[in-house]
Amino acid sequence: MLPILPLIAAALVLDGLARPQAARRFGAGWRSVEGSVLLALVSVALYGGFLALCGNAALSVLLAFALLALLTLASNAKRAMLGEPLLFSDLALVGAIFRHPQFYLSALTRLQIAAMIIVAVLLAALVAWLLVPEPLPHLLGAGLALASLAALTAIMRLPRFGALALVPDAEADVMRLGLVPTLLLHWRRWRAVVEAPARPPVRRAIGGGDAPQLIVAIQCESFADPVDLFGDPALALPALAGARNDAWQWGRLQVSGFGAYTMRTEYAVIFGREESELGFRRFDPFLTALRDTAYALPRRLEPAGWNSMFIHPHDMRFYGRDRILPASGFARLVGEDSFDPPAKGEGRYVTDAAIARKIMELAREAADPTLLYAVTIENHGPWSADESAEDAPSGTQASRLVAKYLRLVAKGDAMLADLRGEIAALRRPAMLVFFGDHRPSIPGASEPGGERHTPYVVLRFDGQGRPIRGDGQRRDLTPAALHHLVLDCTLSPAAD
């Protein structure tokens, strides 16, 4: 078992490279003793597991180290792009990486991707070549892995270790404990949550002719105000500015993710629960959303006779939407099969204009009070700068990426203008809720570390299609508060 000691030493050195790095003491960055102990036990468990598979001690050390190195590389790349280290909940998306690689591999350079592929091929070849057929090493490896896991389980029950990572702060925990211990501890905290939330209070329909009978909610991909992003007033979006002037309410949506994590915003708007209520579930609330279906906007509207539909031109298995949304009261999912593929020159994804046309088609057909919740995709990154001459003006790589983003965010703004006009033309009491899910991550131009807010506007229309204006003051909200604003405009608390 001598190879274990070099592996532990290498794992500790490697963990020192994971960002954020530990505070420097005595000329070097050191994680806590508790974090180092946990990392050592995890390293031994990995070594034992690989030894049980291949029976080769040297190869098992290499495989265990390669896995730890992969986690460190992925975490550092993710943090540079999205402002967060690798989270335990990210590991649930491994399958999605293979189904939709363009959503994830954009965080890596081509050289890094090529290196990962080469290393994976070489490791597979090594495993096949160096596999030991004798059973004894395999049995020893299995025993070592089980013993290490038992030690991990026992040690984390000690008060000193039980007091670690009590709040969901990945940045602070990685700095203090290290990447792998943080992944392990946060996963255990998440697993320990047995919350069974009380059912939300019943509401009834608001009387009066101006209570909305149609709600169109647009979760617009990477939609942010270019003035906020780049500091240039000349980049103001005309439809967004006009909507703010006529809005019932508008302001900044205080989203928690940067450059990704659509599901955090989506969950909050649909289910109306603040991150402070979720604990370790906040990192990916869709993983446990099935326990919260009573809170969902469609379920809250259903007793008042509302019909709800979800529109998104993408694979509904993503985030488990195909299971979660029907259970949450959406009577129909309008997915990628309901849209034609993008035409030549329209880009990779279904356009915002096509989604707007589908929304209005459904709105015109709706006889009952109807919620149409749509998630756009046209402005999904990464933003390449070499697709056309229009998208590749002279200048830096960052300026070319910004030019591409501005062209696509303008399409989201045009969607807002089109929907506003066509909903008003229905001459039906209605509400249009339009918001960005997160800011874009554009290297050299829009990077993590600063503000994260996106714009939101809520437009209300009376039975003649005229806007019902609010007081015009900016009001900043969390996505969960936006959920409750929609409810407050549509339903009121039940009478005692």
Highest mean pLDDT among 43-47, 122-126, 398-402: 43-47
Q: For residue 271, what pLDDT is reported?
A: 97
Hey, how many other C-beta atoms are within 10 angstroms of the C-beta on 133? Answer: 7
**Per-position DSSP letters for 348-388, written without gaps between them:** SS--HHHHHHHHHHHHHH--S-EEEEEE--TT-S---S-S-
Q: Which domains does the chain have, with CATH numbers?
A: 4-192 (no CATH), 204-493 (3.40.720.10)
Hey, what's the torsion of the CAs at 167, 276, 329, 309, to 10 degrees? -110
Q: For residue 496, what pLDDT is reported?
A: 40
pLDDT in tens, 200-213: 888 888 877 789 99
pLDDT in tens, 165-177: 999 999 999 999 9
> Taking Cα atoms as reference points, which of 477, 405, 400 lies closest to residue 441?
405
Mean pLDDT in residue range 134-163: 96
Query: What is each CA distance from 374 to 243, 253, 280, 333, 437, in whole angstroms?
Result: 18, 17, 27, 10, 12
pLDDT in tens, 343-371: 998 888 999 999 999 999 999 999 999 99
Mean pLDDT, rounded, of the chain: 92
For residue 23, the 8-state DSSP code is P
* pLDDT confidence band for 231 (50 / 70 / 90): very high
**Spatial contact of 253 and 456, defined as CB atoms under 8 Å apart:** yes
CA 200 – CA 223 distance, rounded (Å): 31
**Spatial contact of 219 and 373, defined as CB atoms under 8 Å apart:** yes
Cis check: omega of the bond before 369, within 30 degrees of 0: no
> What type of residue is 117?
I
pLDDT in tens, 232-256: 999 999 999 999 999 999 999 999 9
pTM for the complete prediction?
Answer: 0.93
463 vs 29, residue with greater confidence: 463
For residue 343, the 8-state DSSP code is P
